[in-house]
C-alpha cells in the first residue's frame, strides 16, 4: 500500500525491541511491534490501519522469522520478553488473536542449583523457581542424546536477586528476594507436598519493608531470619511468618569499613551467629528470641580481628559433639584462610593459598575447598598444610565444586569436566570430558539421580553428565532442552 502519512500500528511503550511482520494476507497484516502482536487491516480508501483484535498479545521482541501452518490459521513466533530474561515459543490463532499454547525455551540459572530431597531447584530470574527430578523421557525412541523433562514451576519470579535456604529441620524451603538498592523484601516459604500434591508447595508469601536495602546475604535460622542492612544495622524477622514485625539488633558495620562494604552473617547455633564488620573484624553474637542481643564473650566489640579484610562468609566446621568448641575458617584479602577456635576465636592455623581466592572457602564433609585462580586447593582443618592442589586446564573453574558419589566434580568455563578423587587430588580420568556443544557451564554441577550430574549451560539448556565419563575416557552425554 501507498501511505500518505506515517502509520503507527501500536502506541510506543518506551521499551526497546525488534519489530516484525509475522504474516500478511491481502490487506491484513499481523505485526509484532513494541512487544505486542496485533492483526491490522489496511483501509485502501481511508489510507489507515485498523486493529482487528480486541486487544494485542504481549509476547516480547521477535528472535527470528515467524512461521505459519499450511492452512494459514496458526502463527508460530519465538520471542524474548522486553526485560531480556525469558524466551518463549507461542502458537497464536490468527483469526481470533488467542494464544493456543506457549512454552518457555530454556532456563536461566541465577546462582548455583540447590539439591533438596533428590530434586534440583533452579532459580530463573525471569520466570521463577523450578524443581527438576529424575523423571524424563527420550525425545526419540532408543536415542539417548536428547531428553525431555517437565520441571515443576514452584512460583513466579520474585523481584530482584533471590537467595534460597533449606530450613533447619529440612522440611521447608525459604526464598528471599529483593531488588538492588530497594527496601522491599519478598519472603516465600515452601513446604513439602503431601500425597497427590507437588513435592514442594508454596505455603506463605510475605513482603517486608526494610529500614534500608540489604548489604549482604541473609541467614535463615531456627527462630528467625537475619538481615544485614546498608545502614549498618542487623534486623531479624521472626519465624514462622505470622506477621510479627522486624526487630532491630546490633550494628555490624565498622567505622573502618569501605563505602559499599558487605556483611557476611552465619548461624552457629539456634540463637547465636557470626557477623563480619565490612573490614577485618568478626564478632560472635547471642540473640535470644525474646531478649536483647549480646556479644560472646560479653562486652567485647570484636571477637576476632584478622590481618586483612574478610572476603567471604565464614565457614563453621561441624562439631564432633554438642559441647565441642566452636571452630571457624575465614578467608581474607591477603589470600589466606585462617582457622579460628574457642570462645574468643583465637587463631589456630593459617593456610596461604598462593594466589587470588576466587571462590570459597566451602565445606565438603570434613574438608574445606578453595578455588584459587585456576587451582583447586583442598584443606584438612587438622593439618598445617593443604592436602593437595589441583590445577585445572582451561579458562577458570565454575562455582564451588561438589562431591557427587565418589568424585569431586570440577567444571571449567571452556566446557571441560574432571572427576577428582577427594582423597588423593588426582583425576580419575586424565582426559576428563569435553562438552560437545556451543555453550559452557554457568553454575556448579550438582547431583541428579543415580550416577549423574545436573549442569546448567549458558544457552539455557541443561546438560546431564554421566559420571562414568569422568571415570573412563568413554561417556555418553545427555541434554534436556
- Percent of the chain surpassing pLDDT 70: 89
- DSSP-derived 3-state class of residue 85: coil
d(CA 293, CA 310): 23
Does residue 151 surpass a pLDDT of 80? no
Q: What structural domains does the chain harbor? A: 20-104 (2.40.10.480), 313-391 (2.40.10.480), 403-481 (2.40.10.480)
Mean of the pLDDT values across residues 332-357? 95
Q: Are 481 and 467 in contact (CB under 8 A)?
A: no
Distances (CA, A) of 216 to 123, 233, 408: 19, 11, 29
Does residue 227 surpass a pLDDT of 50? yes
Question: What digits encode the pLDDT tens for the residues 42-80?
Answer: 888 877 888 899 899 999 889 888 999 998 899 999 998
Which residues have a Cβ under 8 Å from the Cβ of 320 and sit 6 or more positions away? none
Strands in 416-420's sheet, in edge-to-edge order, are 402-404, 407-411, 416-420, 433-434
Distances (CA, A) of 452 to 123, 390, 398, 428, 479: 20, 23, 18, 16, 12
Q: Are 190 and 175 in contact (CB under 8 A)?
A: yes
Q: Are 368 and 382 in contact (CB under 8 A)?
A: no
Residue 471 backbone phi and psi in degrees, to 5:
-100, -35
Number of H helices, E strands in the chain: 1, 45
Q: Are 147 and 137 in contact (CB under 8 A)?
A: yes
Cell of 22: 509475522
Cell of 180: 538492588
- DSSP-derived 3-state class of residue 469: helix
Mean of the pLDDT values across residues 296-315? 91
Q: Which helix (H) or strand (E) holds 470?
A: helix 468-471
Question: What digits encode the pLDDT tens for the residues 11-28?
Answer: 555 555 688 998 988 888
Q: What pLDDT does residue 146 have?
A: 63
d(CA 328, CA 348): 10
Output DSSP code: residue 71: T
Query: In terms of C-beta distances under 8 Å and separation of at least 24 residues, what long-range contacts does 437-442 make, across chains too?
Result: 437/461, 437/463, 437/479, 439/415, 440/398, 440/413, 440/414, 440/415, 441/398, 441/411, 441/412, 441/413, 441/415, 441/417, 442/109, 442/398
106 against 419, higher pLDDT? 419
**What distance separates the 2 farthest-apart alpha carbons in the chain?**
90
d(CA 479, CA 147): 6
Annotate 291-342 with DSSP letters as a single string: S--EESSTT-S-SEE-SS-B-S--EEPPPSSTTSPPEEEEEBTTSEEEEEET
Peptide bond into 117 cis (omega under 30): no
Question: What CA dihedral angle connects 41, 42, 48 and 54, to 10 degrees?
Answer: 0
d(CA 123, CA 125): 6
**Range with lowest mean pLDDT among 79-88, 144-153, 247-256, 325-334:** 144-153
Q: What pLDDT does residue 461 have?
A: 85
211 against 64, higher pLDDT? 211
Mean of the pLDDT values across residues 359-364? 94
117 against 213, higher pLDDT? 213
Round the average pLDDT of the chain to a whole number and report it.
87
- DSSP-derived 3-state class of residue 471: helix
Q: What pLDDT does residue 124 have?
A: 83
Amino acid at each position: 500500500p501507498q501511505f500518505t502519512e506515517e502509520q503507527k500500528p501500536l502506541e510506543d511503550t518506551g521499551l526497546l525491541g525488534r519489530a516484525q511482520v509475522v504474516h500478511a494476507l491481502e490487506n491484513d497484516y499481523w505485526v509484532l511491534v513494541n512487544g505486542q502482536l496485533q492483526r491490522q487491516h489496511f483501509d485502501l480508501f481511508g489510507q489507515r490501519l485498523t486493529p482487528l483484535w480486541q486487544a494485542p498479545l504481549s509476547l516480547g521482541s521477535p528472535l527470528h522469522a515467524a512461521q505459519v501452518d499450511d492452512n494459514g490459521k496458526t502463527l508460530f513466533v519465538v520471542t524474548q520478553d522486553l526485560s531480556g530474561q525469558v524466551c518463549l515459543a507461542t502458537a497464536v490463532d490468527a483469526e481470533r488473536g488467542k494464544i493456543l499454547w506457549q512454552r518457555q525455551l530454556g532456563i536461566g540459572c541465577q546462582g548455583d542449583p540447590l539439591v533438596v530431597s533428590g530434586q534440583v531447584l533452579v532459580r530463573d530470574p525471569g520466570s521463577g523457581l523450578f524443581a527438576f527430578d529424575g523423571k524424563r523421557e527420550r525425545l526419540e525412541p532408543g536415542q539417548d542424546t536428547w531428553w525431555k523433562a517437565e520441571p515443576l514451576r514452584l512460583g513466579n519470579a520474585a523481584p530482584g536477586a533471590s537467595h534460597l535456604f533449606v530450613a533447619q529441620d529440612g522440611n521447608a524451603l525459604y526464598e528471599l528476594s529483593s531488588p538492588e538498592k530497594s527496601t522491599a523484601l519478598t519472603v516465600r516459604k515452601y513446604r513439602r507436598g503431601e500425597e497427590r500434591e507437588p513435592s514442594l508447595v508454596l505455603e506463605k508469601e510475605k513482603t517486608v519493608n526494610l529500614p534500608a536495602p540489604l548489604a549482604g546475604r541473609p541467614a535463615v535460622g531456627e527462630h528467625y531470619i537475619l538481615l544485614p542492612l546498608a545502614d549498618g544495622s542487623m534486623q531479624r524477622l521472626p519465624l514462622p511468618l505470622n506477621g510479627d514485625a522486624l526487630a532491630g539488633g546490633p550494628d555490624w558495620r565498622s567505622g573502618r569499613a569501605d563505602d559499599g562494604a558487605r556483611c557476611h552473617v552465619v548461624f552457629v547455633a539456634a540463637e547465636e551467629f557470626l557477623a563480619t564488620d565490612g573490614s577485618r573484624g568478626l564478632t560472635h553474637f547471642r540473640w535470644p528470641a525474646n531478649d536483647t542481643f549480646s556479644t560472646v564473650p560479653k562486652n567485647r566489640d570484636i571477637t576476632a580481628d584478622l590481618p586483612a579484610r574478610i572476603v567471604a562468609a565464614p565457614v563453621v566446621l561441624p562439631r564432633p559433639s554438642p559441647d565441642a568448641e566452636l571452630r571457624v575458617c575465614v578467608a581474607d584479602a591477603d589470600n589466606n584462610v585462617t582457622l579460628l577456635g574457642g570462645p574468643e576465636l583465637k587463631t589456630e592455623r593459617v593456610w596461604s593459598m598462593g594466589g587470588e581466592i576466587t571462590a570459597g572457602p566451602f565445606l565438603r564433609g570434613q574438608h574445606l575447598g578453595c578455588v584459587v585462580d585456576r587451582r583447586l586447593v583442598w584443606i584438612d582443618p587438622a593439618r598445617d598444610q593443604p592436602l593437595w592442589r589441583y590445577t585445572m586446564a582451561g579458562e577458570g573453574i565454575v562455582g564451588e565444586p561438589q562431591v557427587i558419589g565418589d568424585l569431586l566434580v570440577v567444571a571449567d568455563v571452556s566446557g571441560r569436566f574432571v572427576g577428582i578423587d577427594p582423597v588423593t587430588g588426582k583425576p580419575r580420568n586424565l582426559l576428563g570430558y569435553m562438552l560437545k556443544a556451543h555453550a559452557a557451564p554457568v553454575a556448579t554441577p550438582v547431583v541428579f539421580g543415580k550416577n549423574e550430574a545436573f549442569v546448567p549451560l549458558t544457552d539455557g539448556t541443561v546438560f546431564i553428565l554421566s559420571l562414568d565419563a569422568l571415570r573412563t575416557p568413554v561417556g555418553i552425554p545427555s541434554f534436556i532442552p
